[in-house]
A = this chain, B = another copy of it.
Amino acid sequence: MLKLSKMTDYAAVVMARIAREPDSAHAAIDLAESVQLPHPTVSKTLKALVRAGLLESRRGALGGYRLARPASQITASDIISAIEGPVAVTECSHADGDCELVNTCGVADNWQRVSYAISELLGSVTLAHLASSAPLRMPVQLPIQAISLYGDDEPPPMATAADSTGKR
């Protein structure tokens, strides 16, 4: 399902909550209640967000959490990364040469591009967008032309069999 974990989901929800009232500090327990989730869980999520630098925290009475920077400068990608690590669609997309199939699959390159495109897409959605109650307006153009792919009318490139003769 290509879906993000619940924790990430929570993170988004909580961040949005905070973003809607950015000028006051929010205690974990208050957030938990307003979001209808167990306190410990929310707390855990908040800690992760602090560690990722998306939130600032303050202890003690009057303490709580607040955004580390304006909601318009926090992206969906940031939030996701904070909880589940960098956005990458496949293992090999890591580009860290971990995958041992690199030689046999030949899909890595293109997957990586797709991954990048998604990453860009997520990077173009800000917390301000997410938090806004109004649905995101359209249309818009994403900074994706820089990515890859090609026109839809163009015939498929296909490496063809000629390519399979020599295994790289």
Interface size band for A: 35 or more
Asked if A72 is at the interface of the complex by the 8 Å CB criterion, the answer is yes
User: How many copies of this chain are found per oligomer?
Assistant: 2
Asked if A30 is at the interface of the complex by the 8 Å CB criterion, the answer is no
Q: A22-B167, A136-B150, A140-B150 are in contact. Are A107 and B157 (CB under 8 A)?
A: no
Main secondary structure of the interface of A (DSSP, over half): loop
Chain A, range 102-145, C-beta contacts under 8 Å to B: 104-107, 109-111, 113-114, 117-118, 121-126, 128-145
The interface residues of chain B lying within 8 Å CB-to-CB of A80 are 2
Which of A4, A72, A134, A141 gathers the greatest number of chain B CB atoms within 10 Å? Answer: A72
CA distance A159 to B22 in the complex (A): 11
Residues of A within 8 A of B (CB): 1-4, 6, 9, 12-13, 16, 19-22, 34-37, 69-73, 75-76, 80, 84-93, 100-101, 104-107, 109-111, 113-114, 117-118, 121-126, 128-152, 154-161, 163-167
